[in-house]
Structure 1
């Protein structure tokens, strides 16, 4: 048994030494990609509203190669709709979203960046909000802006 385990140990050690030690350095040198969702204010229920997804790297537009998924949801109804936005070479990806009624909604953008997915969310107040809904919306607006990196 010992005769077999020694060669196996050398094989394992040899395999570990062949790992690419530059992977960690390469990952740390990549500039983060950030994103945010833009909507016009005020938003009315029932009609299509424009929604833009701005994706930036070093403050400059970052070109997305695949579709961006926009998901509209609410705490009362769960997921309402998911829409795909095709990549735009000359401009910011944009779509229209229809908010069914007054209330609080959440838009989530799933953005493919290289081999990863960047998720950004935005809470949106539509139409006339209750006092509680307005408090929730105001609390979200005072929190840190959504962004991320891959």
Structure 2
């Protein structure tokens, strides 16, 4: 195992243990539930926008699942809170592209931050949905929160 792979595994385990953003967001502008029927992982992720409606002010999530799905939600929270919606959409697209890469290519580390650690997960088809769960919920929340304002 390369030093980088070991570091990424540690990052995933750390996020799995400390779970940033875990807990229900009571005053969410949008909330979405995702389930991976293959393994039973599930997450409900809520977000609140700032007063301008252009930035994510807070994310809260509850879930149950493997270390990959829980760590992915934690890493997503660190990245998305405080980010403007255009950047969040780019993050979601970049993460999805990385998860479809089967471990190939060089994802944008500046854009993805700690979420870059999931690049190796993309080699394991059965684990991709686990890593994507929170990101799909976030994408649905952003769409719901912004469609209400239109």
- What TM-score, normalized by structure 2, do the two folds share? 0.29
- Normalized per residue, the structure richer in strand is 1
- Normalized per residue, the structure richer in helix is 2
- What TM-score, normalized by structure 1, do the two folds share? 0.29
Q: Is the radius of gyration larger for structure 1 or structure 2?
A: 1
